[in-house]
């Protein structure tokens, strides 16, 4: 186990968190080298070197600094975008088929190294495996050993080893599906945002008509409004054709032999009637006035007659 020394008083003291970064980088390199000469190591030894207790870290170190160090050394929690670069949806389907015992483990042999690196580099920190499951994962995924070799080393029947490995694959599949669902949600959110941005950009497109065309259209509309106002202010009833349907039918019947069609104006008839009535009234008033004058004259004559007698 490695522990960092307190060297604050040294002039060239290393920065805080150097041990976590060193351990993470060593683990990453060791997982890659296990498929070469280190493949001769017993799986128990390889697993011991990859365990947290053997690798060691300062328990008093800051957790936030540790997470930053893990991300810098590519050993932190994997994101959905990174997972998409390692495993495709077709790979997930193969894992799902094996988890349901629909295919043999040989169908996913090419995926076991990727799964082993994800686990031992702590890219899936929420996932836990038993000791035997980790030993199987180291032998199959990192050391590229066969099931027979693992059976001899661990002294466990092959059917039991494969059953434990199947349970481990189910745990991997659960974590992978969660990350893929998260990625799908992010893509859906991004697509909605892109749609909103596209709608806003379309709304900001330049107009199809130019400024001169808009000004001409506005002038034409204003001219039409002024003409309509002028027509509304005029008394057009004086230009209306006089007579109703009955008058026109009568006039057309009278002019069947040819000639000019004339329709008598009701207004003229009304004026004539009013003039006749006024003349009658004048005559009546004149007659009444003449009668009054005659009566006055007769009275005067009578008075003068009686005056002479007296």
Q: What is the pLDDT of residue 165?
A: 92
Largest CA distance in the chain: 185
Q: What is the pLDDT of residue 248?
A: 72
Q: What is the pLDDT of residue 94?
A: 92
Please state the domain extents for the chain. Answer: 18-52+71-198
Cα–Cα distance list, 252 to 8, 85, 201 (Å): 125, 96, 69
* Assigned token pair, 31: 């997982």
Could you tell me if 171 and 127 are in contact, meaning their C-beta atoms sit under 8 angstroms apart? yes
Q: What is the pLDDT of residue 127?
A: 85
Q: What is the pLDDT of residue 227?
A: 85
Q: What is the pLDDT of residue 166?
A: 93
* Assigned token pair, 228: 């309509």
Could you tell me if 276 and 264 are in contact, meaning their C-beta atoms sit under 8 angstroms apart? no
Angle between helices 43-50 and 18-33 (to 10 degrees): 160
Q: What is the pLDDT of residue 42?
A: 87
Q: What is the pLDDT of residue 36?
A: 87
Q: What is the pLDDT of residue 310?
A: 46
Residue from 74, 77, 84, 90 nearest 187 by CA: 84
Q: What is the dihedral of CA 60, 65, 67, 72, to 10 degrees?
A: -130
- Walk along the chain (310 residues) and give the pLDDT tens digit of each residue: 566 666 666 666 666 667 777 788 888 888 888 888 888 888 888 888 887 544 444 444 455 555 555 555 555 678 888 888 888 889 999 999 999 989 988 899 999 999 999 988 888 888 888 989 999 999 998 988 888 888 888 888 989 999 999 999 999 999 888 888 887 887 788 777 777 777 766 666 666 777 788 888 888 899 888 888 887 777 766 666 666 777 777 777 766 655 666 656 555 555 555 566 666 666 666 666 666 666 666 655 555 544 444 4
């Amino acid at each position: 186990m490695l522990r960092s020394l307190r060297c604050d008083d040294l002039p060239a003291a290393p920065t805080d968190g150097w041990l976590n970064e060193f351990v993470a980088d060593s683990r990453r390199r060791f997982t890659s080298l296990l498929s070469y000469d280190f493949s001769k190591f017993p799986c128990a030894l390889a697993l011991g070197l990859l365990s947290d207790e053997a690798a060691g870290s300062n328990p008093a170190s800051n957790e936030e600094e540790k997470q930053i160090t893990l991300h810098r050394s590519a050993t932190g929690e994997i994101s959905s975008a990174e997972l998409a670069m390692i495993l495709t949806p077709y790979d997930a389907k193969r894992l799902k088929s094996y988890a349901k015992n629909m295919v043999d483990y040989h169908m996913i042999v090419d995926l076991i190294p990727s799964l082993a690196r994800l686990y031992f580099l702590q890219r899936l920190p929420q996932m836990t495996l038993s000791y035997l499951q980790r030993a199987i994962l180291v032998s199959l995924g990192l050391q590229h050993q066969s099931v027979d070799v693992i059976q001899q080393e661990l002294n466990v029947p092959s059917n039991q080893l494969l059953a434990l490995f199947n349970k481990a694959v189910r745990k991997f599949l659960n974590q992978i599906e969660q990350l893929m669902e998260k990625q799908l949600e992010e893509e859906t959110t991004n697509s909605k945002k892109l749609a909103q941005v596209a709608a806003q950009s379309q709304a900001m497109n330049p107009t199809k008509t130019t400024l001169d065309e808009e000004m001409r259209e506005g002038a034409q509309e204003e001219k039409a409004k002024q003409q309509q106002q002028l027509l509304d202010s005029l008394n057009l009833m004086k230009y209306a054709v006089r007579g109703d349907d009955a008058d026109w039918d009568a006039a057309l019947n009278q002019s069947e032999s040819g000639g000019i069609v004339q329709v008598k104006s009701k207004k003229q008839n009304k004026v004539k009637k009013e003039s006749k009535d006024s003349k009658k009234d004048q005559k009546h008033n004149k007659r009444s006035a003449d009668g009054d004058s005659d009566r006055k004259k007769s009275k005067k004559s009578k008075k003068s007659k009686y005056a002479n007698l007296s």
